[in-house]
Chains A and B, each alone.
Chain A
Amino acid sequence: MRRSGWLLLLVASTSMANIEPETIGTSTMAKPASTWLMVHGALGPAYVFDTATGDMQGLLSLSRFTPAVETRVDAGELYAAESFYSRGPRGERTDLLTIYDMTTLAPVGEVELPQKIAALGFLQYIELLDDQRHVAVYNMTPAASVSLVDVEDREFASEISTPGCALIMGTANRGFLQICGDGSLQLIRVDANGDESQRVRSRKFFSIEDDPVFDKPVQTPEGWLLTSYQGQVFDVTVDGDDINISEPWSLLTDDDKTDSWSPGGGQFIAYHESQDLLFVLVNADGEFSHDSAGSEVWIFDRSAERRIGRLSLEHPGTNLFVSQNDAPLLTVTGDDMQLYVFDVETLTLVRTISEVGWAPGLLQGF
């Protein structure tokens, strides 16, 4: 044994003499493209992929309670509400807004938050306001409130109580909308210090018992788009102090309803801005199927308010993401926990991305 050991060492020494020894380093992440997305695991990390190639670009280590990530590409920063215990599942709790560098994916700043951040994956649990300075974080204890953080000065600004209303949907003039349990919307604005300066309530426009709107709004160029369990679509805009809610149109024809189609899934809707297209996961499972995986994706011309395409899924889909480039790619998380990437123009599958993290959840762009 000893003789063979010397022999191996001799061979290794000989090999080393013939090549330049390699050194270890650390990659940096390129500036994200429109086809990039984050796959946020239910219990922590977010995997970054380019859906145009299928290649992983890096990983964000997030707390297991982080609901979503907010991006500020121009500043090269990502913001995540995080919650930690000092001894894993127990110990002293610390809630933070962590600022991550978009190149190194490393934390470069922390702001301590009230120990109230809402957990589980919802895109609108965190929002960078239009001043590009204040990040709003949704809290639930289960009392509802919103924490404001000044990310320029890296300091906590304020906490605003929002009883009966949830989510944070950014609007102009340092404002955000919320959906309220009485079937209305709430508009809150903050001043330059992040303190509440205005609060307005809309008319009641939906019935929580008959047909609630999903807690998954999508942003449009004009405002926000809300969808109800039964497929009614509302456009919401803010004009000064007024919250305007359109008359609804329906994703579903009478025949669709007869066949029990309805929207559903964890992240059931996505919007392509320049082509004004809506992508909606639908299932034919009938009542109480708002969380069920979709067997098809329906594509709608939003301004024409009509369906223009159907995509049947081999693996029912739970989450959707559409890239915002001119040749959009639609990514669907299948119930087998793989990502299926489709070319929108041809509705053909272009690639499958596997091993996207344990319990893949929200899909987010940059």
Chain B
Amino acid sequence: MNITERMLGWLDDTVAHSSRNLARRSSRRRFLGRLGAVLVGASTLPLLPVSRANAEGPKELGDPQSCDYWRYCALGGTLCTCCGGSVTTCPPGAEPSPISWIGTCHNPVDDKDYLISYNDCCGKATCNRCFCHRSERDLPVYSPAKANDILWCFGTESRSYHCTVAIVLGEATT
């Protein structure tokens, strides 16, 4: 989610550089073609047009507490990795939103594209650490499944936004 759209809007040079590099290497249409159908809701996950990641997950490099980490290519919000959680777990006491938006990010280690689910963690005060806003393949709010400019604490006890995780759903396939 983008609770701090404006407060976050402030990509540091490293992030911007990284994003541009990734953008240069990637074709927008190719990614959109791979993204395929609308992807909303954890309940729909079994229907996603992806091949599940293997048990070990993709090989990765980078710092999950940094906005230029490869999984965060379409994340807008606060990184849960800086707030007592991890890249796949909410911090203590926060409730994961079962509904998310989906990005497609390129993993530079294996040179493959992966579908990433950005789930907000909710029900606590905003963490306000490690703001991150990247917009690769992000679409306007009238296309919500692919929009990060939405507070994605839906289906939770409280809409209060805490932070965001980035979960690999699987390898993006055409």
Contacts and interface: CB of A to CB of B under 8 A. Distances in A.
B143 A181 contact: yes
Interface string A310-324: 000000001100000
Contacts of B139: 208, 212
A293 B154 CA distance: 29
A286 to B, nearest CB: 6
Interface residues of B, number: 44
Given A65-B159, A209-B32, A266-B9, A167 B142 contact: yes
A64 B151 CA distance: 11
A292 B5 contact: no
B4 A42 contact: yes
B107 interface: no
Nearest to A92: B158
Interface stretch (A116-124, A190-198, A341-349): A116-124
Given A120-B149, A210-B29, A333-B6, A85 B138 contact: no
A7 to B, nearest CB: 48
Interface stretch (A69-77, A153-161, A232-240, A357-365): A357-365
Contacts of B151: 65, 118-120
A120 B143 contact: no
Given A65-B151, A83-B159, A210-B29, A89 B6 contact: no
Contacts of A122: 141
B73 to A, nearest CB: 9
A286 B138 contact: no
Contacts of A214: 140
A311 B4 CA distance: 26
Contact of A318 (B6, B20, B149): B6
Contacts of A166: 140-142, 144
Interface string B11-41: 1000010011001100011001000000010
Contacts, number: 135
Nearest to A165: B142
Contacts of B23: 286-288
Given A42-B4, A358-B7, A359-B6, A212 B143 contact: yes
B123 interface: yes
Interface in A144-199: 144, 164-167, 178-181
Contacts of B1: 120
A93 B153 CA distance: 14
A258 interface: no
Contacts of A140: 141, 144, 150
A21 interface: no
Given A210-B29, A286-B20, A287-B23, A361 B141 contact: no
A42 B19 CA distance: 24
A141 interface: yes
B66 to A, nearest CB: 18
Interface of B: 1-7, 9-11, 16, 19-20, 23-24, 28-29, 32, 40, 76, 99, 123-126, 133, 135-144, 149-151, 154, 157-160
